[in-house]
Amino acid sequence: MHEWALAEAVIVAASKIAAKENLKEITEVIIKVGELQQVEEEIILFGFKQLKTDLFKATKFHILKAKTKLKCHNCATTWDFKKENLDETTAESIHFVPEVAHAYVKCPKCGSPDFEIVEGRGIWLEKIKGVK
C-alpha cells in the first residue's frame, strides 16, 4: 500500500527530527502532499495511527495539499495538473509512479509530453511541534 509506505517515512523522519531536537513528545505534524502524488488522506491518516510510537501518543496529524504545476519544455506553457482529466487506470499508474505522468499527460497547447513538474510533486514535512 503506497500510503502506508509514505506514512512510515513521515513517522521515521519526524522521529529523527524529534531526537535531534531533544523532543520527548511530538504534539503536531503538518505534512504537505503534492497533488500529483494523489494520496488518499484517510489511508495515510490510518497509517499514522497504526505506526505511531509513544513519541506520537497525542500527535495531531494535518495534511495540506499542494497544487501541481507543469511546464512544457517545447512551448513554455504552464498548467495545473487535473486528476479529473484522467481515466481511472491512468490515475492509478501516476499515483504509484508519478514520473509516468509523461506517458499520459500532454501539454494542452502544443500536445508535447516533454514537460517538467514545477511544483506539487512528493510529500514533505512542513512543520513539527513538540515538547522538550
pLDDT tens digits along 45-103: 999 999 999 999 999 999 999 999 999 999 999 999 988 788 888 888 887 788 888 89
Burial of residue 121, with CB atoms counted within 10 A of its CB: 0-12 exposed, 13-18 middle, 19 or more buried: buried
Contact 41, 6 (CB under 8 A): no
Domain layout of the chain by residue ranges = 2-131
Give the pLDDT confidence score for residue 16 in this predicted structure. Answer: 96
Contact 83, 35 (CB under 8 A): yes
Q: How many CB atoms lie within 10 A of CB 33?
A: 22
Give the pLDDT confidence score for residue 1 in this predicted structure. Answer: 54
pLDDT tens digits along 1-22: 589 999 999 999 999 999 999 9
- Helix residue ranges per DSSP H, the chain: 2-20, 41-51, 88-96, 101-104
User: Whole-structure pTM over 0.85, yes or no?
Assistant: no
Helix (H) or strand (E) holding 106: none
Give the pLDDT confidence score for residue 24 in this predicted structure. Answer: 96
Give the pLDDT confidence score for residue 127 in this predicted structure. Answer: 96
Give the pLDDT confidence score for residue 72 in this predicted structure. Answer: 98
Q: What is the CATH number of domain 2-131?
A: 3.30.2320.80
